[in-house]
Structure 1
């Protein structure tokens, strides 16, 4: 008889930004065997306690064998990964008997606002991936943490509007629009809390929360619901600076977004990122998620200034895009 708990977890991208934190949190919990699905030519460093499984993405049989016996497949791939890779993983997961998937999203709960999903440039792609999983007859759960805080605050002006090294702040509109944002650690904690639940209720009258309650939905996780101006106040506290130490300018969100789309149409990768982030700061506040599971999963309240220090550390080693 199979267990009603997740025991075996396959993770694509276990050495990447988000994936390594999920892998580490799974290993730390001690309840799961964690397998990293990886290519032979990969030079990524896997977290301790993670078992590598070498696969060939051009050989369907290799992928199926690599996923056999896994309860869940978690996909955390770079945006630069070949677009067909996600479908290959879906097909292999179906053939291997994987019970459910966490697809490569890690953004916002796109089903809540389809206009936002389309205009933030990644939502339609993610909704299509959900359709592909549905077509394969597999359950899925989308983990939505908003934009990653360290990555977005420390990744350059075109993300959250800050060039930390040069002390420049581009305030979008009045800088007061709030959005949901999460650290890599918080997303990992929420993901593991989800996987620690029973998969299905023990019986029809059992009302306890289970993984199956979330099938076909987004599980929304949050570190902070925060505006640019609040991020700026944290940056000033952490760096010991004042407004006078920063070059501050203001840009209209609509004009910034239009500029981003034009850049993107001209082939600029920065334009894509600029548009994606700028849409989150539109006056409609669509990137502020009201339905987080933080209290349900007993996730900790994080220290904003400590996380801002993490963003500064990320900025010091960031090599672009």
Structure 2
């Protein structure tokens, strides 16, 4: 990866990324990312999909078929691409390594790996929930190949998804008007909507790669090389989320069943569920751990201004979550993906 200033690069070098390949372009966050990239109008987007994929790819996106059992198809699809963005299931580490190796073989300079959450490089959290360890290994794999640089999208939990998913995530059972607060419900965290996350990716990839010269202090892609970019819609706690839910639903606290549970006790319940073979215990562990008093889901910095991201309306996004519950989004769109149906 060239470093320094654009003025010092070889003649004919371009100081921007143009060609972006996306894996998961029809997925939960991937479709928003692709739409935001298209809206920016600065890139040529290619979706890499398996044969037989039923995901709907937006108009304006080229499609190339790939086969993970035949990595040469991925290398061929990635030739000429400046960036690889992939959004896979967190368990798909083998596929992720295949993609990253193919990107190196094809000479892709930038990879946005499957982060899209809190900073996964937190050793204390990784002791309790080792999800971040797998992500760390993938980042190390990229660096070890020595061709591509990575940028991790640290956006916290997805707001509408986490609010609508049920009591195991943000503690809300909107359908049955019940909420469980972790401790007293005042531990804050950063959380992002799908739209804000997608805008962040699109605006990041619209940055120039290098500063023009030593006097150019404007944001550039290389300042995030092998690092995280921190995106957020809201910095808030469960109590503040609850107040928004009350406004949106036109209800009062008296209309709800309110419970408090020690956050470490809730984490232990998730552990016990997982150990007994109930995989939903992992979600309970993951979310409750992020509400610990050490604030692991609070960003160390805010890159919203650097990326030109707007301040979103909390109640507007809460209303989206409430509608998702009413329309049974989780049951219709998430459970089938997880179960493979």
TM-score, length-scaled by structure 2: 0.90
2:160/2:321 contact within 8 Å kept = yes
Residue 119 of structure 1 corresponds to which residue in structure 2? Answer: 128
Does residue 128 of structure 1 match 2:137?
yes
Say which SS state the counterpart of residue 248 (structure 1) adopts.
strand
Moved more, 30-39 or 243-252: 243-252
Among 178, 185, 204, the residue aligned to 1:175: 185
Residue 26 of structure 2 corresponds to which residue in structure 1? Answer: 15
1:24/1:48 contact within 8 Å kept = no
Q: Distance in 2 between matches of 1:47 and 1:145?
A: 24
Among 28, 33, 36, the residue aligned to 1:25: 36
Residue 9 of structure 2 corresponds to which residue in structure 1? Answer: none
Q: Distance in 1 between matches of 2:223 and 2:311?
A: 25
Among 294, 308, 312, the residue aligned to 2:318: 308
Tell me which stretches of 4 or more aligned residues in structure 1 moved more than 4 Å.
none
Q: Distance in 1 between matches of 2:29 and 2:185?
A: 27
Gaps of 5+ in 2: 1-11
Say which SS state the counterpart of residue 179 (structure 2) adopts.
strand
Residue 42 of structure 1 corresponds to which residue in structure 2? Answer: 53
1:11/1:37 contact within 8 Å kept = yes
Q: Distance in 1 between matches of 2:276 and 2:115?
A: 26
Residue 330 of structure 2 corresponds to which residue in structure 1? Answer: 318
Gaps of 5+ in 1: none
Give the paired residue count.
Answer: 319
Among 258, 274, 299, the residue aligned to 1:264: 274
Say which SS state the counterpart of residue 190 (structure 2) adopts.
strand
Q: Counterparts of 1:1-321 in structure 2 under 5 Å?
A: 1-79=12-90, 82-111=92-121, 113-137=122-146, 138-203=148-213, 206-315=216-325, 316-319=328-331, 320=335
1:152/1:160 contact within 8 Å kept = yes
State the Cα deviation string for residues 66-105 of structure 1 (Å, max 9, x = none).
Answer: 111100000111235x330000000000001101100101
State the Cα deviation string for residues 261-290 of structure 1 (Å, max 9, x = none).
Answer: 121122222111110000011111121113
Q: Distance in 2 between matches of 1:317 and 1:203?
A: 49
Q: Distance in 2 between matches of 1:195 and 1:119?
A: 33
Query: 1:129 offset after TM fit, Å?
Result: 1.1
1:121/1:276 contact within 8 Å kept = no
Q: Distance in 1 between matches of 2:220 and 2:167?
A: 41
TM-score, length-scaled by structure 1: 0.96
Q: Distance in 1 between matches of 2:13 and 2:53?
A: 33
Q: Distance in 2 between matches of 1:12 and 1:253?
A: 36
Query: 1:205 offset after TM fit, Å?
Result: 5.3
